Amino acid sequence: MFTYSYQDNRIKVILTDIEGTTTDISFVHEVLFPYSAKHLSSWVGNNLELPITQDILQQVREITDKSNLDVESCLSQLMSWQAEDKKITPLKTLQGLIWREGYDRGELKSHVYPDAVEYLQKWYDAGLILAVYSSGSIGAQKLLFQNTSVGDLTSLFSAYFDTTTGSKVESQSYLAIADKLSVLSGEILFLSDSSKELVAARAANLNVCGLNRGNTAIDSEFNYVNNFSEIGVTKI
């Protein structure tokens, strides 16, 4: 067990990734992504007049530096980004909107590992601040934790962060999160299955712990655990 202490100026915040950390990566890639791919074109077509839809399309034009892209071309670009699993804000926003309809219809039910549920609750009860940082939109994050098989877990979290804060592989993003949470970087423990994210977080002086749920390429320079029960966060 890797133990991280909290009290005074030690660990005050646990910042967690979702995919491969709290949630089985297969749920994201085999359930959520196919669902959004199937409904992407129809959702945009059915909601074309909404300001949020127009904003998404405009962001696509700005990112591609093609101001004259029509709707079909924007959709083609969004589908291409999804196929490549790009962490691009307009795509993540659109996916979140599509998934919301899926959850509302009862067609989606999100997965969270039992050990994640148990220890997030324990850490919350112990007075630690819990926050989420995922490439999925904040809306999608909240939907995932609201619609789990064990009920709504959103009350456990004090804050959510996505690509609007910055890239997860850039250290500045983690400094921005520490600032928004009004804590020092060294008072945060970041949990992720991605070594690139762990590198960036550590460069920002966060404490880090890797999760290996059976599909992670292990980087020997980091501590890795198989589940949350192996992470000791104790008072000193």
Residue 131 — φ and ψ, nearest 5°? -145, 160
Domain co-membership, 183 together with 228 = yes
Across 112-118, average pLDDT: 97
138-145: long-range contacts (C-beta < 8 A, 24 or more apart)? Answer: 138/96, 138/162, 138/164, 139/93, 139/96, 139/97, 139/100, 140/92, 140/95, 140/96, 140/99, 141/18, 143/96, 143/99, 143/100, 143/103, 143/110, 144/18, 144/23, 144/110, 144/112, 145/110, 145/112
Domain co-membership, 85 together with 39 = yes
The 10 Å Cβ neighbour count of residue 87 is 16
Q: What is the mean pLDDT of the chain?
A: 92
Number of domains in the chain: 2
Domain co-membership, 56 together with 135 = no
- What is the domain range of residue 84? 28-104
Q: Look at residue 101 in the predicted model and tell me its pLDDT.
A: 94
Residue 187 — φ and ψ, nearest 5°? -95, 5
pLDDT tens-place string over residues 9-51:
489 999 999 999 999 999 988 999 999 999 999 999 999 999 9
Q: Which of 74, 104, 134 is the last residue of a domain?
A: 104
Q: Look at residue 210 in the predicted model and tell me its pLDDT.
A: 93
Is residue 171 over pLDDT 80? yes
Is residue 2 over pLDDT 70? no
Strand partners, 2: 231
Domain co-membership, 224 together with 119 = yes
- Supply the CATH number for residue 184's domain: 3.40.50.1000
- Supply the CATH number for residue 60's domain: 1.10.720
pLDDT classification of 64: cutoffs 50, 70, 90: very high
pLDDT tens-place string over residues 206-234:
999 999 998 666 667 888 899 999 998 86
Domain co-membership, 18 together with 52 = no
Domain co-membership, 198 together with 131 = yes
Domain co-membership, 38 together with 144 = no
Residue 211 — φ and ψ, nearest 5°? -105, 130
pLDDT classification of 6: cutoffs 50, 70, 90: very low
Domain co-membership, 139 together with 58 = no
pLDDT classification of 87: cutoffs 50, 70, 90: confident
Please tell me which residue, 28 or 179, carries the higher pLDDT value. 179
pLDDT tens-place string over residues 135-154:
988 999 999 999 998 999 99
36: nearest Cα among 110, 93, 112: 93
Q: Which of 104, 130, 147 is the last residue of a domain?
A: 104
Is residue 189 over pLDDT 60? yes
Domain co-membership, 75 together with 161 = no
Is residue 7 over pLDDT 60? no
Q: Look at residue 9 in the predicted model and tell me its pLDDT.
A: 45
Domain co-membership, 19 together with 32 = no
- Among residues of the chain, what percentage have pLDDT more than 90? 83
Q: Which of 36, 70, 104 is the last residue of a domain?
A: 104
Domain co-membership, 122 together with 194 = yes
Cβ pair 106, 218 in contact under 8 A: no
Domain co-membership, 61 together with 178 = no
